[in-house]
Every structure is written in structure tokens, then in C-alpha cells.
Amino acid sequence: MPIAPSGPIPADDAARDWFGHPRQLSRLFTIEMWERFGFYGMRALLTLYLTKHFLFNDRTTNAIYAGFAAMVYLTPLIGGLLADRYLGAKRAVKFGALVMAGGYFLLCFGGEPARPWAKIDGVRHAVIEQHVADRPSTTGLEARYVVIDQQRLAIRGEADGSIDLVAGDGHVARHVSAAAYESGGDRSPLATGLLLLGIALITIGTGFFKPNISTMVGALYRPGDRRKDAGFSIFYMGINCGALLSQILCPLLADWVGWSAGFLLAAIGMLLSWVLIQFDGGRLRVIGNAPVERDHALPIFAAALVAVPAMMLLFQNLMATAPAAAGSDIWGYIAALPVMGKLLFGTFLVTIPAILGYAWATGNRAEFQMMVAAMVLVTFNTVFWTLFEQAGSSLTLFADRNTDLRIIGNLRLSSAQVQFFNAIFIVMLAPLLTLTWGALRRRGLEPSIPVKFALALAGVGAGFLFLVWGTRFADGAFKVSVWWLAGLYLIQTLAELCISPVGLSMITKLSLARIVGLMMGVWWMSIAMAQYVAGIVAQVASVATVGGAITNPALSLETYVRVFTLIGWASVAIGAVLLVLAWPLKRLMHGVT
């Protein structure tokens, strides 16, 4: 049956507004809020789920998380294109919501936790887990013991990689060299397969949902309607409301009931999003419909589901690829990259010169210079998100291992809940920063786009350095107060607000009109690349674990301090470089602000 194309909002609908905006915005706001509720609730749990339930080591965990995050930003390029040409935004969103919900539900079936073991001098021994206050999952309060001759021995790692096995009275019962010690976990192949299937479905579903719900918001406004920017600001507030709620509630359920309950709540949120758009009562009848009469939905949806096993293989390859050998040259590191890494780096390195070559050949001098400025800023954007996205990987593990999560008295957060600081700070600070930019603009003092990017890079680095400063006040258990981590999120949220709202606008202003869509794709590809590189950075901060627990909290803190110091100062330095380049870049932008 042919679907009526989208058209202007009827007069009777336009007359009934919502806070001065088309009333359909309230429905789309709620749809997006519940979708983000599901996504950020799942994301808050994922890294800890991989390390604590499946007992993957830090390197494998960070590889899976980074690959997933990269694909979440890359697949919307395909989903948006298919919706524009064949499906229509509304049907793409409905399909994406169902596929994502299926992925979240699959994550509920993790089965029994992986069984940890330690191999000492070639002999395998069982490792048992003990929870403090009967609170498993994301609290960071677990303890692990190896059982040798029916004796429980605590596992204590040393700086040189060796292990001390400590008896209950505190004496070292046995010292094991690094070469004679190995740890791991026996996990169910079925549960691992369901995990990979779940995150593959979420990745594919996001590709259909994420770009097209925003397209539907844009379709609410006629060309030239000055309310559009404010409408998107309201819409994006739904993202942060959903994230704020889920990053508190999903970890809470995971702690009280179990991992499955946390993921189930995320799945319910996603299902609510689908219900709201599937049964919209006709409110969305004139927006997001298919642009063509011929129905291509079934073959497209079938192809999307066929792509799921291929996505699973990409994630499997991330888990199986060994790092390059020490001392390898650049070609050795490239050869050691997993398939996903080769695809991302190869595409990025080919695309940017090719587009600049096209701009040189087809545009005038000013257009080419504007494209050069855009590509420079895209590159710096990749650096920013590489560091900012440590939130879901290394910073989550730092919260679990080296953070005292008590807020006041005995009231404490779980390590997964710490991510909610970013959402609450955005809700609090975004309106204030918007007013600040407006006040500066009226006085002719608003920073240029390159200066805002430079401030963002310096800010994300300053957040890490603030946390490093806080580690000087670590307690006897080598844990820092959660308020130092909150300070990091405060600083980095301010940095995010300097770059995130202006990035897409910058692309539309600087790009050649005939390839603006392609440049949007490059922008999202730069963030996908950043997500992948963020995983590589997080792998540098990997810490030895047994059964998901660290063996040496002092060494763990030292490792995180070393990595956070390095990337903190590097980011500040890169921000300073961009600040120096801001003036010549502004000239290349030819008045674009």
C-alpha cells in the first residue's frame, strides 16, 4: 500500500502548539527520551557486565566496548540514507526501535556468571567470589580468593606482575612469579553468543532509529522557521532526561536484583519508545513518511537482519585479535589491527584527502579554504571525543576500582551510576552556557568556532588533570572520593558544551552545498573513529584482574594516574595548538561564525 509522503503540518494541527512549538514535538521528545533511557542504561552497565559477569580482561572489554560505540555512530549513515530514499523516517524509527529492544532483551540472558580460575605453575585452581553486604554487580565491593588444598588465599598483585597468595592471618603463604601465573574464566559459549547477538542488534537498530528521529523533528518546521533551533534544544533535552534517569535506575536494579533486571529495565524503556511511535493516534501522520510509492521496506529490513551475523563477526574479531608485538614498526601495528580498525582508519585516511581534492577541482578558492578549515576542525573533533569517551570504559573501571563511592555517610553510588554526572550537568549548564554565548555575542565577544573547539580540548584534558590531582588525597585503600570524579565530569561537560552544539552547524556552514550530506557523514565518521581510538587509549590503562577484581589497588591507581596524566596534558597541549591556529582558520572560514 502506497504511503503518503510527508507534507506541511495541517492548519488545525499547527494551531495547537506545545510551548510555542508544533504539538508533535512533545511526542517525539518522549520517544527520544525513552530510547535514550534504554541506550544509556545499557551503556552504564556494559563495561562492568563484561568484566564482572563474563570475566573478560580489560583489553578485551575495552575492545568490545569501543567497537560497539564506533558502530553506533557509523551505522546511522546507512540508516539515514535508506530512510531518505526508500523507507521514510517514521518507518525506519519503528524498525530500529524493535531491533534495539530485541538486543536489550537478549542481554538479559547472560546465564550463570563465568567461573574464574587461576593457573599456578601449570595447575588450575578454582577462584571463589565473596560479596560485601550481599550486593553483587556494579558496587565494586567484591573480593576474590584462590582455593589451594581447601585453603582460601587472597590474591595480591605486585608491581612486577608477580602474585602473593595471602592467608587469612595476613602472612604470604606463597609467592608466584609472573611467568608462573595465569588467570581467566570459563564462560558459556551460548551466553557469549547471545551477548554478541544482542549488541549487534542494538548497533543495527540504532542505525535506523538515531538519524531519523531527528529528521522527523526537523520536518515539523517549515523552511525559515526561526523556532527550529529552539525546538531541537528542547528535543535534545529529552536525551539527557532519559540518560539521567536510566543511569541511576538501571544500575540500581542490577545491584538489587541482578544484571538481567538492569538490562530488562533498559529494554522496557526501548519498548515504550516503540509503542509511542507505533500507536501515535495519528499525531505523526504527516511527517516521516516514505518519499516513494513503491514499498522497499521488506527487502531492506531483511538485508538489515542478514547484516547482524556480519556485525557479530566484527565483534568476535575484536575479541580475538592479538596486539602488535613490542617493538613493531608502523606497518606491524597496522597489520595487527582488527578488521574494524583497518576499515575505520582506511576509510578516514582516504575520505578526507579525496573530498579536499574534489573541493579543489570543483570549487572556487574561498570554497576550498572553507573545506580545509572544516577538515582541520573534524580532525580536532576526533581527538576531543577520543578522550571524552573514556567515560564508558576506563573512567567506569576507575570508578569501580579506585573510587570511594560514598556520597554522604553510608549513602553511596554504584560505579555504573557515576556516569549520570554528565547528564545532570548538561541539564543544569546547557541553558546557562547558551545565555552566556548570547550575551557575549551581543557585545561582539563571542569566541569563534576554532576557539570554542580549542577550549573544549583544553577542558577535557583539564578534567583528567583535576582527577589526577585528587588522587593525591587517596585513602589507605588507594581510593579517591567520588567528588573528584564528579569534578572531572563537571569540567568535561563544560568542554562538551563548547564543541558538541556547534559541530554540526559548523559542517553545514563550511561545506560545499552539493556535498553537505557527505560532509555530515564525515563528521559522524570522525566520532566513530574517536570511539574506536578511545578503546585503544583505554587498553593502555588495562589492569590485571582475577575474576573481574583487581589484584593490586595501589598498582591500579598508579596505572590510571599515569595514563590520565599523559592524556590530560596531551589534550591541553593540543588545545593550545588549535588556539594558535584559530586566527588562520578564521581567515579560511571567510566570515563563518
Tens of pLDDT, residues 131-185 = 544 444 455 456 678 888 778 888 887 777 788 888 878 888 888 888 888 888 8
Q: Residue 544, SS3? A: coil
Q: Are the C-beta atoms of residues 87 and 299 closer than 8 Å to each other? A: no
Distance of CA 465 to the CA centre of its chain: 21
- Which ranges in 471-542 belong to alpha helices (H)? 482-510, 516-540
Q: Are the C-beta atoms of residues 387 and 460 closer than 8 Å to each other? A: yes
Point out the least confidently predicted range of 171-185, 224-238, 470-484, 558-572. Answer: 224-238
Phi/psi of residue 545, nearest 5 degrees: -135, 160
Q: How many C-beta atoms lie closer than 10 Å to residue 576's C-beta? A: 14
Q: Where are the beta strands (DSSP E) in 177-328?
A: 181-186
Distance CA 501, CA 446 (A): 15
How does pLDDT run across 396-435, given as a tens digit for each residue? 999 998 999 998 878 888 888 999 999 999 989 888 888 8
Distance CA 435, CA 497 (A): 12
Distance CA 345, CA 526 (A): 10
Q: Where are the beta strands (DSSP E) in 295-436?
A: 403-404, 406-408, 411-412
Q: Are the C-beta atoms of residues 48 and 138 closer than 8 Å to each other? A: yes
Distance CA 423, CA 336 (A): 36
Is residue 345's pLDDT more than 90?
A: no
Q: Residue 185, SS3? A: strand
Point out the least confidently predicted range of 99-108, 435-444, 464-473. Answer: 435-444
Distance CA 107, CA 571 (A): 35
Q: Which residues contact 60 (CB under 8 A, 6 or more apart)?
A: 50, 319
Q: How many C-beta atoms lie closer than 10 Å to residue 2's C-beta? A: 10
Q: Are the C-beta atoms of residues 32 and 323 closer than 8 Å to each other? A: no
Distance CA 56, CA 444 (A): 53
3-state helix, strand, coil in the chain (%, to 5): 70, 10, 20
Q: Are strands 480-481 and 403-404 parallel, antiparallel or unpaired?
A: parallel
Q: Are the C-beta atoms of residues 521 and 211 closer than 8 Å to each other? A: no
Query: Span 74-95, mean pLDDT?
Result: 87
Q: Are the C-beta atoms of residues 163 and 157 closer than 8 Å to each other? A: yes
Average pLDDT of the chain, as a whole number? 85
What integer pLDDT is reported at residue 293 of this predicted model?
A: 62
Among 549, 547, 552, CA closest to 117: 547
DSSP tag of 221:
S
pLDDT class for 10, splitting at 50, 70, 90? Answer: very low
Element (H, E) at 413: none
292-317: burial string, b at 16+ Cβ within 10 Å, e else: eeeeebeebbeebeebbeebbebbbe
Phi/psi of residue 291, nearest 5 degrees: -80, -10
What integer pLDDT is reported at residue 294 of this predicted model?
A: 62
How does pLDDT run across 375-396, given as a tens digit for each residue? 999 999 999 999 999 998 999 9
Q: What residues pair up with 119 in beta bridges, in sequence order?
A: 124, 182
Quote the percentage of the chain above a pLDDT of 90: 43
Distance CA 88, CA 141 (A): 48
Q: Residue 165, SS3? A: strand
- Exposure of 112 by Cβ count < 10 A (0-12 exposed, 13-18 middle, 19+ buried)? exposed
- Exposure of 186 by Cβ count < 10 A (0-12 exposed, 13-18 middle, 19+ buried)? exposed
Q: Which residues contact 462 (CB under 8 A, 6 or more apart)?
A: 491, 495, 568, 572
Q: Residue 550, SS3? A: strand
387-425: burial string, b at 16+ Cβ within 10 Å, e else: bbbbbbbbbbbbbbbbbbbeeeeeebbbbbbbbbbbbbb
Among 385, 378, 387, 573, CA closest to 463: 387
Q: How many C-beta atoms lie closer than 10 Å to residue 353's C-beta? A: 10
Phi/psi of residue 178, nearest 5 degrees: -60, -40
Q: Are strands 115-120 and 181-186 parallel, antiparallel or unpaired?
A: antiparallel
What is the three-state SS of 25-90?
Answer: HHHHHHHHHHHHHHHHHHHHHHHHHHHHCCCCCHHHHHHHHHHHHHHHHHHHHHHHHHHHHHHCHH
Query: Span 8-23, mean pLDDT?
Result: 60
pLDDT class for 511, splitting at 50, 70, 90? Answer: confident
**Length of the chain (residues):** 593
443-458: burial string, b at 16+ Cβ within 10 Å, e else: eeebbebbbbbbbbbb
Distance of CA 110 to the CA centre of its chain: 22
pLDDT class for 105, splitting at 50, 70, 90? Answer: very high
Is residue 191's pLDDT more than 90?
A: yes
How does pLDDT run across 206-263, given as a tens digit for each residue? 999 988 888 888 788 777 676 776 777 788 788 888 999 999 999 999 988 999 999 9
Q: Which carries the bigger pLDDT value, residue 165 or residue 482? A: 482
pTM: 0.88
What integer pLDDT is reported at residue 376 of this predicted model?
A: 93
What integer pLDDT is reported at residue 14 of this predicted model?
A: 45
What integer pLDDT is reported at residue 7 of this predicted model?
A: 44
pLDDT class for 583, splitting at 50, 70, 90? Answer: very high
Q: Which residues contact 572 (CB under 8 A, 6 or more apart)?
A: 457, 458, 461, 462, 465
Phi/psi of residue 110, nearest 5 degrees: -80, -10
Q: How many CA atoms lie within 13 A of 449 on its CB side?
A: 28
Distance CA 514, CA 525 (A): 19
Number of H helices, E strands in the chain: 17, 15
**Structural domains of the chain, with CATH:** 32-114+187-319 (1.20.1250.20), 115-186 (no CATH), 348-590 (1.20.1250.20)
Highest mean pLDDT among 1-15, 139-153, 451-465, 511-525: 451-465
